[in-house]
Structure 1
Amino acid sequence: MSLTVRRARPEDAELLLQMSRDFHIEDGSPLDEAGEATLAHVAAGEALAPAYILELDGAPAGFFILTLGYSVENGGTDGFIDDIYLLPALRGRGLGRQGVALAIEAAREAGIRTLLLEVEAPNERAYSLYCKMGFTDTKRRLLRQVIVEG
């Protein structure tokens, strides 16, 4: 049983939106209007945030979004796994590990030098998986400030 990945297409917009809604509810941060509007741009092919659909036997199994940036500290082009989600019914079978591996490969193909991600503090299962796959805890705090509302 193995996952495949493909770039999301405009016709995947509703699928991507529904999986993203489910992910964000599960994560404790439901999408607001601005998030949904941004996701529509992602589904339409936003160059700075390519979305990918994970499939199992040709059926949707999850998704991930890479956001692209540039960092002197990270040696140039960096990327962020903004969201990664596997349908709940498919968890516990090693498919999450496959999904992360596919995201890493997509980042490599996109020319990303350093790949980052964040995980909610209580999600020890995901944290453990990411560490086993070569991600390291930066021991830093991720802060944010909303500059433009809406």
Structure 2
Amino acid sequence: MGIAFRVAELADVATLLRFHVALNEYDGTVADPVRARAGLEILLGQENLGGVWLICADETPVGYIVLTWGFSLEFGGRDAFVDELYIEAGYRGQGVGRQTLAFAESVCQARDIQALHLEVARENVNAQAVYERVGFEKRAGYFLMSKRLRP
């Protein structure tokens, strides 16, 4: 099985939304496809905000990764966040996640990004193990906290 990454386009929004809903179901959260569509349409049109890539196995989309760009004084420059990462169940446990994270790292290095962050559900120990194997570390004493500014 050959894994490749393809920059997502507006024509891919239906596929991306299907993956987004599946990701939320897997995480036990409720997806808002209207909000997600609006976000995708913005992100797909503005590379300065980040990027979206389809993960393809033999040219068939089997998942996606969303990276967004930021800046951190603590990390000394530009940073990035894995906003969403989803791989269909039939492709998990085969190294696709590791390949995807290596791809994300190469994308970030090409943009002189100093650090790559992600969030993972506390219950998702399989994903945590993958992330730790490729060099991500839990930040002792820190929680990710969010406040929605617009409904």
Q: What secondary structure sits across from 2:81 in the alignment?
A: strand
The count of aligned residue pairs is 149
- Matched residue, 2:30: 30
Q: Distance in 2 between matches of 1:64 and 1:110?
A: 17
User: 1:45: how far off?
Assistant: 4.5
- Offset from partner CA, 1:72-99 (integer Å, 9 cap, x none): 0111100000111111111122222112
- Matched residue, 2:82: 81
CA contact (8 A) 1:55 1:61 kept: yes
Matched to 1:3, the amino acid is I
Any runs of at least 4 consecutive aligned residues in structure 1 with deviations exceeding 4 A, and if so which? none
Q: Distance in 2 between matches of 1:115 and 1:41?
A: 22
Matched to 1:6, the amino acid is R
With normalisation by structure 1, the TM-score equals: 0.91
CA contact (8 A) 1:65 1:82 kept: yes
With normalisation by structure 2, the TM-score equals: 0.90
Unaligned runs of 5+ in 1: none
Unaligned runs of 5+ in 2: none
Aligned pairs (5 A) from 1:60-139:
60-139=61-140
Q: Distance in 1 between matches of 2:35 and 2:59?
A: 31
CA RMSD of aligned residues (A): 1.5
